[in-house]
Structure 1
Amino acid sequence: MFRNARLILMSAVAAAPAAMLLLPAVPAFAQGSQKAVTRPLEGNGETLQREGETSADPSSQQKGDRSGEQPSSGITLLERMGTSLPPLPPEKPYHGPVDEAYGAYQRGLYVTALAKALPRAEAGDAVAQTLVAEMMMRGQGIAHDAKGAAFWYGQAAERGDPAAMFQYALILMQGRYVTRDKAKADEYMRRAAEAGNASAQFNWAQILVADNPGEKGLKLALPFYEKSAEQGISDAQYAVAQLYLAIHDLPTDKKAKAREWLERAAKAGYDTAQLDMGLWYVNGVGGERDYDKGFEWMRIAALRGNVVAQNKLAHLYINALGTRPNPVEAAKWYVLSRRAGLPDPALEDFYLGIEEDQQKQAIEAANRFRRS
C-alpha cells in the first residue's frame, strides 16, 4: 500500500536544467545548466601556491573574476546526489488515505497509474495533475506529449503543487510549449522555493543573484542556497561554500564551514567542487594547507575529465606537491589539458625540456586515458 504523497520530481532535475540563469562575475557558482562550470579556459584558474607564497594579483582573487567560464563535462545532478547520506529513520506507521495512482506509478504500472490519475486530474486534484504531467512528459503509459504535459503542469501549479510550480516555471522561462513569461516564471519559482522544493530553492537563489547585483543579491540568495544545500543539491552546496567566503560580514561560525560544504559537494561527485577542494587544500583556503589531500582531490577531478584539474595536476607532479615528482605523469596531464584547449606556457616549456622518450611515454599514456 502506498501513501497519499506528492510526486517528488527529483528526476525532473535530469530532464530540466538545475538552473536557468547565469550568475554575474562573482566567485564560481554552479551555472544555468545541468553540467558543472569549470575555471576559465583562457587562463589557468586559481594559481597553485607553495606555503608562504602569495598571489601576484591578490585583487583578482578578491573580485572572483569568472569571465571566461565554460561548461565542463560534469555529470548530471542526479548522479552527483545521494553520496554518503545517513540512514533513513524508521518509517512511522501510516494510517492516512492511500494514493493508488501514485502507488501504481511507483511499481512501474504506468497504464494503471494513468487510468487512476487522469479522472482525478480532470476533477482538479493537483497531485494527480502533476503525476499526469510527468507521465506525459516521459511517455510513460501514454505517448510522449510535451505540450499536454505543460498544460497539466500549469493546472497543478495554479493549485499550488510545489513540484508542478517548479516545472512550470522552467517551461515559462523556456517558452517552448507556452508563451514565455519571466515574471510569471519567477513568481512560480519563488512560491515553489518557499514551499520547500530543493531545486526551486537553488533556482530562486540564482534569480535573486542575477536580479540584484553585488553583495545585496548574494545575501538575499544565501538562505535559499542553504535550504537547497541541506536537501542535498550539490550545486547549492558549492554555492554556499563560495558565499561563506565571499560575503564579508557573515558570522565566523558560518565562514568556518565553507570547506565543509565544499567537501560535501565534492564527495557527491561535482567535478568543479573537486577541483576547488584540491586548490583550497593546496593554497590553504578555508583552513590549513594539506598538500596530500589537495593532490588527492585534484587527481579525482582530473580523472573525471575536468580540464583545469588536469592542468593543475601536471603542476603538482612537477613541483612534488602531495606526490613524488613524475615528469611522464606531469606531461601526460598537460597533453590532455592542451588537447582540450587549455594552453599553459610554463607547462609547454617543461614538456619541451624533458627527454624525447618521456614525451613519447606521456603521449601514449594520454592516448590510453579514459575518463573514470
Structure 2
Amino acid sequence: MHLDEGRRAAEAGDWVAAGHAFVRAAMEGSAEGAELATLVTVDLVPLADGGSAEAAALLSGIYLEYFDESALSDAVRYARAAAGAGLPAGQRTYGYMLLEGIGVEEDRDRAAELFRAAADAGDAYACLNLAQLVDDPDESQRLLEAATRAGIDAAGALLADRLSALDRDEEALRWYLWAAERGHTGAMNAAACWYRDGFGTEPDPVQAVRWFLVMLAHGDGDGVHEAIDLAKSGALDAGQVREAGRLAGDPGTAEALISTVWGGADTDRA
C-alpha cells in the first residue's frame, strides 16, 4: 500500500509525499521501500536547498537511516536547518543527534529543549524521547500516554515498565499486551513471563506459551526454551499448547513444540 502511494506521489512530482510513503514502507520491512527512499533523495535535495523544511527533515532522516557515514554531515546540516525552521520532525531528529552525539557534540539539555518544542507541537516520537529525559514521573507518564495515542508500541512498553516499578501490575500488564499486539517483541516477552509467573493476573500458561510463540513468529526466539520448559513442567498439556498455537496464529510451531516435549505422541496429556 505504501509503495503504491509513494509511486503515485512520485508520478505527480510530490517528492516529499513520495519519500514519506517509501520510508513508511521501509519501516514495515520493505527492502524496496528502503531502496526507493534512498533514490528519492536526488529530488529532495533541491527542495531542501530551496528552503523546504519538510524536505530537509525527511532528507536528514533518510540519510541517517539508510546511508553510510559519508552522508552524516549532510544529515546533520539538513536536520539543523529543519529544526531552525521550527519543524517538529526536524526538532526531533536534530534533538536525537544531539542526545546521542551523532555527527555533533552531545548536548542532552539542548536535545531536551528540542524534544519539548516538538512534543508541544504534537510530535508523538518527540513525546517518547522527552519522556525518557524528564525527571517528573507524572510528566513522563503523560508524555508516554500521548505517544501511545499515536500507536507507538515502544511507548506502551516503556509505560508498562514505569507502572510495574510503581507496583501497578494490572495496569502494566494491560500496556504490555497493548504493545505486544502491535508487534513489540520485548512487550511480548514481558507478557509471556507475567502470565507464566502470575504478575498482574492469575497464572495462565496458555497465554504465556501463546506470547512466546508470537515472539518466535516475529523473529525473536528468546522465549522458545521458556515455552518448552513450561510444557515440560506439567503446567499445561498438549491440547493447551495447541490452543496457545491457535491464539498465536501459529499451529505448526505448537505442533513442533508438542513433538519436542512429548515425542510426537498424539495425546492431550503428557
User: 1:369 is matched with which residue?
Assistant: none
User: 1:129 is matched with which residue?
Assistant: 56
User: 1:199 is matched with which residue?
Assistant: 125
User: 2:192 is matched with which residue?
Assistant: 278
1:16-55 map, 5 Å:
none
TM-score, normalization by structure 2? 0.66
RMSD across aligned positions (CA): 3.9
Please give the alpha-carbon distance, in whole angstroms, between the structure 1 residues aligned to 2:114 and 2:205.
Answer: 46
Please give the alpha-carbon distance, in whole angstroms, between the structure 1 residues aligned to 2:21 and 2:133.
Answer: 21
- What SS is found at the alignment partner of 1:166? helix
Contact kept in structure 1, 2:16 and 2:58, CA below 8 Å: no
Give the deviation of 1:293 after TM superposition.
1.5
Q: Does 1:310 align with 2:202?
A: no
Letter of the 2:43 counterpart: T
Q: Indicate the larger mover: 277-286 or 162-171.
A: 277-286
Letter of the 2:220 counterpart: G
- What SS is found at the alignment partner of 1:145? helix
Please give the alpha-carbon distance, in whole angstroms, between the structure 1 residues aligned to 2:129 and 2:171.
Answer: 23
Contact kept in structure 1, 2:61 and 2:93, CA below 8 Å: no
User: 1:111 is matched with which residue?
Assistant: 42
Please give the alpha-carbon distance, in whole angstroms, between the structure 1 residues aligned to 2:93 and 2:23.
Answer: 11
Q: How many residues align?
A: 221
Do the aligned partners of residues 267 and 225 (structure 1) sit closer, same or farther apart at CA in structure 2, a change above 3 Å counting?
same
Letter of the 1:305 counterpart: D
Do the aligned partners of residues 10 and 113 (structure 1) sit closer, same or farther apart at CA in structure 2, a change above 3 Å counting?
closer
Greater RCO structure (CA 8 Å; 6+ sep): 1
1:247-258 map, 5 Å:
247=166, 257-258=171-172
Contact kept in structure 2, 1:295 and 1:322, CA below 8 Å: no
Selected match of 1:120 from 50, 63, 82:
50
Q: Does 1:261 align with 2:175?
A: yes
User: 1:220 is matched with which residue?
Assistant: 139
- What SS is found at the alignment partner of 2:133? helix
Give unmatched runs, 5+ long, in structure 1.
Answer: 15-77, 81-104, 326-360, 366-372
User: 1:242 is matched with which residue?
Assistant: 161
Give unmatched runs, 5+ long, in structure 2.
Answer: 1-11, 30-35, 240-258, 264-270
- What SS is found at the alignment partner of 1:207? coil
TM-score, normalization by structure 1? 0.49
Contact kept in structure 1, 2:206 and 2:236, CA below 8 Å: yes
Q: Identity of aligned pairs, percent?
A: 23
Give the deviation of 1:150 after TM superposition.
0.5
Letter of the 2:224 counterpart: Q
Alpha-carbon deviations, 1:285-314, whole Å to 9, x = none?
Answer: 33343221122112333564343x234223
Give the deviation of 1:154 after TM superposition.
0.8
Do the aligned partners of residues 185 and 315 (structure 1) sit closer, same or farther apart at CA in structure 2, a change above 3 Å counting?
same
